[in-house]
Amino acid sequence: MIGGANTFGHFARKLEAERIEAASVVTTILTDPERYLDAQLPPAWRTIGMVELLCDAARTELVRWPRRSLHLAQLAAAIADALPESYPRLLRAQAAADGWKAISNAHRFASRHDAALTALDIAGARISDEPALAYDRAILALARAITLREMDRMDEALRVLEGARETFSDYEDVQQVAQCDLVTGMIHHRLGRLADARQAYMRVIPSARAAGDLHTVAAAYNNLGRAAADAGDMNASVDALQQARAIFRELDMPTETSRATWSIGAAQLAASRFESAIAILGEVRREFQKLGMPEEAGLAGVDLIEALLATNARAAARELAGEIVDELRRAALNERALHALSYLRETADVATPSAARHVGTYLRRLKDEPKLLFIEPDPER
Amino acid sequence: MSLQISPGTSSDHELAATYEEHYNLLVGIAVERFRISHTDAETLVHEVFLDFLIHAARVHDRRAWLIGAIYNASKHHLRRAQRVEPLPDHGPETVDPRYARVGEQWPAELAAREAFARLTPRCQLALRLRYIEGHTIPSIAKILDTTKRYAAKLVSRCLDLAHRRYSGRMDE
């Protein structure tokens, strides 16, 4: 057996040095990751530090540039699979699982869910026989549950989550337990089990707060607010959403802050507090425009049209629909979206608030189903 | 864009102190609670510490994390032990037939590994998926996010490159 505090200290120092060395290399790779997939790997790059930093970089690039994230993750996985045997087998296996998980994330972000699951299978196979890697297996299980949820395979996702949560509880890792509860809440929410969803979100808040993970606390409040709104509990909804917004603001996350404000406006609209909804949604729309998010500005605008129609402010509704059509045309958005919004502009003099809601629902679905045809709402409704 | 090392990284002294502080406790848990032999318990604890090294920066409660880790590792070890047939105490000492021609096999294997290591990362991924993990071309195309046609071409080109590198090594 290789062991003892000295060996452990040796690996700790080695890893630290590798991370420092890898930082400058990965910065260079970031300029054009794909090029490095087709160049020979310098032996000095075959380190765990490189794998870790490439996986971190892949995670950072996910939102901005998913394709680049995939290339970084592929490079990480290739290096991990080629690590020299001077590393203990367990560390090589762990690094490979990390690299393949990064590949899975990149696929999931681009909605290639089957590929994401296959990459997770590969990651899992690397560490399945390592007794000491239960924590890493739980991390993979959480990633699998998130992917399954996005694929609408809710029962499987819940089963997988249960196992991951149990392992994280064994390790007393409250942050990861909170992540599991958050995903559990989202699954119940999607299935319409609102009481279960609200309970799960409530569980997240103290755990994530204890772990100092304010972003997850805010996400839980945000989801809690939406679940409460769906359950018709508007006061609880607005309270939770205001908490979420305050934390997002504290974290200096303007996009999330605006999204939380949008949810507050939507809750006011659902509670028929139209004047308040009009003020909030108007503000949200301006924020999204400032942030350069035309799609969100357009969708918030459709909610605003619903509120305007409810107060019989038809001229304002028609004018706003026209504005949104122009904005979305400039942003070169899906033609079908323009068609639905044009319908709203043309019928503003007679349309009911539910027609605006119908258009809003269609536009939200269009994000996932870009070929979905717009069907005009039944005028009797 | 420059890359920052995560700020929570622990110093090696601190990590070595964590090791010293918890080593006996963890071995004790594996031996006494799970009836694992002392040698196996030491190996498990060492492996738990190696994994801890990777995650240390994100661990809030080290003691709890390590105890959770040895519980899970011990359970996995026992499950695995149940699946393994022990060698007979006085069994026949026949040589594993795979090692009969070890003198010829090892140089060839080493040359193959070296040739493989000199391929590009994309080639290494493609060949490993195809020939070590047994994925089909459509599956490789899906994993690498490319077309089936390109995946087939990639595998064939990389295999050819590997052959050439291998032949080069063997001729030296």
**pLDDT class for B5, splitting at 50, 70, 90?**
very low
Chain A segment 131-150 residues within 8 A of B by beta carbon are: 131-136
**pLDDT class for B2, splitting at 50, 70, 90?**
very low
- Tell me how crowded residue A315 is: count the other CB atoms within 10 A of its CB: 11
Name the minimum distance, in Å, from the CA of B166 to any CA of chain A: 15
Choose among B133, B49, B84: nearest CA to A133: B49
Say which range, A33-47, A101-115, A315-329, B93-107, has the weakest mean pLDDT: B93-107
B48 Cβ under 8 Å from any chain A Cβ: yes
CA distances from A374 to A244, A276, A299, A337 (A): 34, 30, 15, 8
- Contact predicate A74/B125, CB 8 Å: yes
CATH class of the domain whose range is B115-171:
mainly alpha
Residues above pLDDT 70, as percent of chain A: 98
**pLDDT class for A381, splitting at 50, 70, 90?**
low
What is the reported pLDDT for A15? 92
**pLDDT class for B84, splitting at 50, 70, 90?**
confident
> Among the residues of A191-213, which ranges form H helices?
194-210
DSSP state string for B68-125: HHHHHHHHHHHHHHHHSPPPPTT---PPPGGGTTHHHHHHHHHHHHHHHHTS-HHHHH
- Residues of chain B positioned with their CB less than 8 A from the CB of A213: none
Q: Do A134 and B69 touch (CB under 8 A)?
A: yes
- The DSSP letter of residue B60 is S
What is the reported pLDDT for A331? 76
Choose among A37, A42, A96, A88: nearest CA to B117: A42
User: Tens digits of per-residue pLDDT, B46-76?
Assistant: 999 999 999 998 899 999 999 999 999 999 9
* Rounded Cα distance, B47 and B30, in Å: 13
Measure CB to CB from residue A114 to each of B59, B80, B142 and give the nearest one. Answer: B142
* Rounded Cα distance, A87 and A79, in Å: 13
- Tell me how crowded residue A73 is: count the other CB atoms within 10 A of its CB: 29
* Rounded Cα distance, A74 and B141, in Å: 13
Measure CB to CB from residue B51 to each of A12, A70, A133 and give the nearest one. Answer: A133
Chain A segment 149-168 residues within 8 A of B by beta carbon are: 167
Show the tokens assigned to B74. 């011990």
Query: What region, left, alpha or beta, does residue B137 occupy, with left being phi > 0 and alpha being psi -120 to 50 degrees?
Result: alpha
Q: Do B117 and A82 touch (CB under 8 A)?
A: yes
Of A369 and A95, the structure prediction assigns the larger pLDDT to A95
Instruction: Give the range with max mean pLDDT: A162-171, A341-350, B154-163.
Output: A162-171
A20 Cβ under 8 Å from any chain B Cβ: yes
Measure CB to CB from residue B68 to each of A7, A171, A175 and give the nearest one. Answer: A171
- Contact predicate A302/A363, CB 8 Å: yes
Measure CB to CB from residue A9 to each of B15, B44, B72 and give the nearest one. Answer: B15
Name the minimum distance, in Å, from the CA of B34 to any CA of chain A: 14
Choose among A297, A351, A343: nearest CA to A324: A297
Q: Does the pLDDT value for residue B7 go beyond 80? A: no
- Tell me how crowded residue B79 is: count the other CB atoms within 10 A of its CB: 10
Chain B segment 83-142 residues within 8 A of A by beta carbon are: 117-122, 124-125, 128, 133, 139, 142
Domain ranges of chain B: 12-83, 115-171
* Rounded Cα distance, A251 and A222, in Å: 14
Instruction: Tell me what the mean pLDDT of segment B22-30 comes to.
Output: 97
Domain ranges of chain A: 9-129, 283-381
User: Tens digits of per-residue pLDDT, A272-293?
Assistant: 999 999 999 999 999 999 988 8
Instruction: Tell me what the mean pLDDT of segment A248-256 comes to.
Output: 92
Query: Alpha-carbon torsion B13, B17, B19, B20, what sign?
Result: positive
A8 Cβ under 8 Å from any chain B Cβ: yes
> Among the residues of A132-193, which ranges form H helices?
134-150, 154-170, 174-190
Q: Nearest chain B Cα to A48, which residue?
A: B54
Name the minimum distance, in Å, from the CA of A188 to any CA of chain B: 28
Instruction: Tell me what the mean pLDDT of segment B120-142 comes to.
Output: 95
Name the minimum distance, in Å, from the CA of A102 to any CA of chain B: 12
Which one of B34, B50, B119, B164 makes the best mutation probe of the A interface by having the most chain A beta carbons within 10 Å?
Answer: B50
Cβ neighbours for B27, distance < 8 A, ≥ 6 positions apart: B38, B41, B42, B45
- Tell me how crowded residue A335 is: count the other CB atoms within 10 A of its CB: 9
CA distances from B67 to A2, A162, B11, B24, B27 (A): 21, 20, 21, 12, 10
ipTM: 0.85
Chain A segment 87-106 residues within 8 A of B by beta carbon are: 88, 90-91, 94, 103
Q: Does the pLDDT value for residue A194 go beyond 80? A: yes
Report the half-sphere exposure of B83 (CA within 13 A, side-chain side): 5
Name the minimum distance, in Å, from the CA of A124 to any CA of chain B: 13
Choose among A68, A67, A66: nearest CA to A30: A68
Q: Does the pLDDT value for residue A3 go beyond 70? A: no
Total-model pTM: 0.84
Query: Alpha-carbon torsion A106, A109, A115, A118, what sign?
Result: positive
- The DSSP letter of residue A72 is H
What is the reported pLDDT for A79? 96
User: Tens digits of per-residue pLDDT, B89-122?
Assistant: 666 666 677 677 767 777 777 777 777 888 999 9
Name the minimum distance, in Å, from the CA of B143 to any CA of chain A: 5
Mean pLDDT computed over every residue of chain A: 92
User: Tens digits of per-residue pLDDT, A101-152?
Assistant: 999 999 998 889 999 999 999 999 999 999 999 999 999 999 999 999 999 9
User: Tens digits of per-residue pLDDT, A204-245?
Assistant: 999 999 989 999 999 999 999 999 998 999 999 999 999 999
What is the reported pLDDT for A261? 95
Cβ neighbours for A21, distance < 8 A, ≥ 6 positions apart: A44, A47, A49
User: Tens digits of per-residue pLDDT, A334-343?
Assistant: 788 888 888 8
> Chain centroid to CA B113: how far?
16
Instruction: Tell me what the mean pLDDT of segment A154-174 comes to.
Output: 97
